[in-house]
Structure 1
Amino acid sequence: MAKTILTVDDSASVRQMVSFTLKGAGYTVIEAVDGEDGLTKLNGATVDMVITDLNMPKLDGIGFIKKIRANTKCKFIPVIMLTTESQAEKKQAGKAAGATGWIVKPFKPEQLLDVVKKVLR
């Protein structure tokens, strides 16, 4: 059965590229436009992994991860940050919130799939 990945990004082009890459590799993809939308879509869906942007309106990636980790049902879902931010302190904040990994944009499709495969083993 295909694994389901929730991708959360306020950029439609990034969501499209992530979705296209993942679907091409056989994953099922749910798209969300920001952290709040992501939480709504997580509610009631069975998701194997989350890929989220850091800088988003309404609820940013760090806040979104903290809310996921606070939910017992979602506590152990792997979460990858996909962001233009590469500073060490941003990565620290992501890790502290509960991020599993970090990919810096722009990314190559193979790079994204490598991380997804490693995390979803």
Structure 2
Amino acid sequence: MRDTKHLRRNFIRELWRGLGVVWPIVSALLVFMALLGFVVGEMEDWPVGDGLYFSFVTGLTIGYGDLTPKHASARLLAVLIGMAGIVMTGLIVAVGVHALRNVLEDQGIH
């Protein structure tokens, strides 16, 4: 039990360290997604909140379908939002896997 707590603590420490390294990229992707959400919202005459909501639901690949762009250019921007979200998610997952691998290697677990 104590070993598990130690592993978890080290994992969280490694995860935060890795996120600190990639944070400028993640934050740039978040800003990019938000800006595209504003643009899509303007094109579709949605309130600002709906544009942001659409952007992050699309970027996180949840896609509820309650808001769908009608204009072709807004749909193209939605694809860009989705790609940015996939890159962001992949980056965060990669940092998590790297942190877990480091912790397991430190403990002699391969």
| Pairwise TM-score range, normalised by the shorter structure | under 0.3
Higher alpha-carbon Rg: 2
TM-score for both structures, normalised by structure 2: 0.25
TM-score for both structures, normalised by structure 1: 0.24
Question: Which structure would you say has the larger RCO, counting Cα contacts within 8 Å and 6 or more residues apart?
Answer: 2
Structure with higher strand content? 1
